[in-house]
Amino acid sequence: MNKIAIVGNPPADKIEMLDALLGEEDLKDLCHVVIYSDTEKSDEQLLTEAIADYKDGHVKGIVCLPMKCSVKELVAKSSETENPDLMKVYVNTLARLASVREAKSEAALTMEDVVARVTLLSKSLKRDLNILNPRICMLCVNKEVTETSEEMTLMAPAINELVKNGIQVFGPLPYQGFFERKDIEAFDGIVQIYADEAMQNSHHTADAMQKNCNEPTVTMLTGGEMPVVLTAAEGMITAIGIVLDMIHNRYVYDIPFRHPLPKLYHERKEDGDKARFAKVKKGFNPAEHRRENVTYTTTRQPKTAPETAPAAANKAEGAE
């Protein structure tokens, strides 16, 4: 049975609710919960202990309560991959929402950045949530789209490149009334450019997702090998379920890539035979091998037609 780490010191008014949620019999049948909570230790110390136990194989996934430290930075530091590309994805039964950047920065955003983040989201939907062919929509940055806006100079070329790569991307679509119109139900994932700007203007954020869904919204940290989900106390059961899904789906998704069978044949490229036969071998003289210059020799005698009866009689008379 998988062991899931619950990390963090819950508020005093949420302790009873968490005890009731974690004490359900249905949850005990699914996983074993290990609680990392100590008021004398900081959130960073508790998360560091949970990460160490994950590396040692004692736990299979981590669920983090609201913390005063950056979970993303601690997970990135503990990763075996140098500079892992981690991304937060807001998840509930209604939608999966990701951002290209958490905030605006001095570094200019390029088309390659958008393509890389959307590709990462597409892989996460396949590997973590078992959505085989995800449909992803990109939301506009501005209310009005002009020729010089980011929608035309940045997002449109990125969408064309992603479509060429075989990823189903649509948009950019206007954010105004997107959740209220239930347009979200047509897509498996949503991408917004800047998370901080969306939160300030209340555009396509996790709050809007939660208003249109009866279940709480949790935050999945994808892009690394460690299954990590951030949640409030109300979304504990949802977060544990997503962590269990990540563990199982990643195992099934990675099996074919662990020990692939060696190739039993060499794939021929287009017009490969033409190029192979058109190539002149070293020391080959075409003039010597023309059809009119070739003589055939054989030791076999040519077949003769069987003699008829009158011809045989005439031959016998001539012999006499």
Q: Encode pLDDT of 142-194 as tens digits.
A: 666 666 677 777 888 899 999 999 999 987 887 777 777 677 778 899 888 87
Lowest-pLDDT range of 1-5, 143-147, 229-233, 306-310: 306-310
Whole-structure pTM over 0.75, yes or no? no
pLDDT at 249: 92
- What percent of the chain has pLDDT above 90? 16
Q: Tens digit of pLDDT for each residue in 248-293? A: 999 988 888 777 677 666 665 555 555 555 555 565 565 555 555 4
Which residues are paired to 7 by β-bridges? 36, 64
Torsion over CA of 208, 156, 223 and 122, rounded to 10 degrees? 80
Round to whole Å and give the CA distance between 246 and 186. Answer: 23
State yes or no: pLDDT of 202 exceeds 90. Answer: no
- pLDDT of 309: 57
**Which residues touch 153 (CB under 8 Å, ≥6 apart)?**
none
Please, which pLDDT band fits residue 199 given cuts at 50, 70 and 90? Answer: very low
Q: Which residue did the predictor score with more confidence, 183 or 7?
A: 7
Cβ–Cβ < 8 Å for 60, 3: yes
What pLDDT does 1 receive?
76
Q: DSSP H helical segments within 134-289, as ranges?
A: 150, 156-164, 195-201, 206-211, 236-258, 272-278
pLDDT at 266: 62
Instruction: Write out the two tokens for 7.
Output: 């990390």
Q: Quick check: 131 pLDDT over 80?
A: yes
Q: Are β-strands 3-7 and 168-173 bridged in parallel, bridged antiparallel, or unpaired?
A: unpaired
> Rounded CA gap, 192 and 190, in Å?
7
Answer yes or no: are the C-beta atoms of 231 and 63 closer than 8 Å: yes
**What contacts 24, CB < 8 A, 6 or more positions away?**
237
What tens digit of pLDDT does each residue of 26-47 get? 777 778 888 888 888 888 899 9
Q: Give the ranges where the chain is alpha helix by DSSP (H).
A: 15-22, 25-30, 43-55, 71-78, 111-127, 150, 156-164, 195-201, 206-211, 236-258, 272-278, 309-319
Q: Higher pLDDT residue, 202 or 23?
A: 23
The share of the chain scoring above pLDDT 70, in percent, equals 71
Note if the bond before 134 is cis, omega within 30 degrees. no
pLDDT for position 156: 86
Where is pLDDT greater, at 216 or 8?
Answer: 8
- Mean pLDDT score, 128-151: 80
When pLDDT is averaged across residues 204-231 and rounded to a whole number, the result is 76
- Per the prediction, the chain carries an average pLDDT of 77
- Could you tell me which residue, 119 or 305, shows the higher pLDDT? 119
* 147 DSSP 8-state letter: T
Q: Which two tokens stand for residue 204?
A: 């396509």
Q: pLDDT band for position 123 (50/70/90)? A: very high
Mean pLDDT computed over 87-110: 81
**Would you state the pLDDT for residue 120?**
92
In the predicted structure, residue 6 carries a pLDDT above the cut 80: yes
